[in-house]
Amino acid sequence: MAKKTASREKAKTNPNELVALAFSKDGQLLARTRPDNDKLYFDLKPEQLRYARVFVFPEPPAGIEGITLAKAERLQAYEPAIKLGPNNELDISRIPGKIIQRWLWYRCCARGRVTKRFLIDGLWQDMPVCNAIVHICEVDPILIVLPRV
């Protein structure tokens, strides 16, 4: 698998070419790659990739050297849901084309946690919903939400 990954990680030819970085939960860079036909192939074990945070974004003019987890979040990178295919690949074909075209101009980042309330021993507890895929249909601008609060 290392040979396949090495051949897919080609040199940068287009200034807006996408790059993908996989980080561990503690922010350590695990691997990097470039999309190949809307698929991401990382040289990682499936167990590592399943719990990694993957970010896809246009490569900055300065390159990707020194990019940390926090910086990837600030770049408004697309974070696909981790759903591995038969060859341990991630599918990124669902990135809307308008997002890719406007990546460098608009700032919008939605992060959160999906929870469900359970009654455990007579007490209500919010527990996380694992491996959930969330589709956000609409986001209100902050200027509309603040006056309501």
**What's the pLDDT at 121?**
93
> How confident is the model at residue 25, as a pLDDT?
85
Predicted confidence at residue 12, as pLDDT, reads 43
| Percentages of the chain per state (helix, strand, coil), in multiples of 5 | 20, 25, 55
The dihedral formed by the CA atoms of 142, 134, 76 and 87, expressed in degrees to the nearest 10: 180
Residue 134: φ, ψ to 5°? -115, 135
Residues 6+ apart with CB under 8 A from 67: 21, 29, 60, 75
Q: What's residue 119's pLDDT?
A: 94
Per-residue pLDDT of the chain (149 residues; tens, 9 = 90+): 444 444 344 444 454 578 888 898 888 888 888 888 878 888 888 888 888 888 888 777 777 788 888 888 777 677 877 777 777 777 777 765 655 555 545 445 566 788 899 999 999 999 988 887 777 766 666 665 556 55
Residue given tokens 């490569």 in the structure block: 59
Radius of gyration of the chain (CA): 18
pTM: 0.55
At 81 the pLDDT is 74
- C-alpha dist (Å) from residue 42 to 8, 19, 108, 120, 131: 10, 12, 27, 40, 20
From the CB of residue 71, how many other CB atoms can be counted at a distance below 10 Å?
Answer: 14
CA distance linking residue 130 with residue 116, whole number of Å = 10
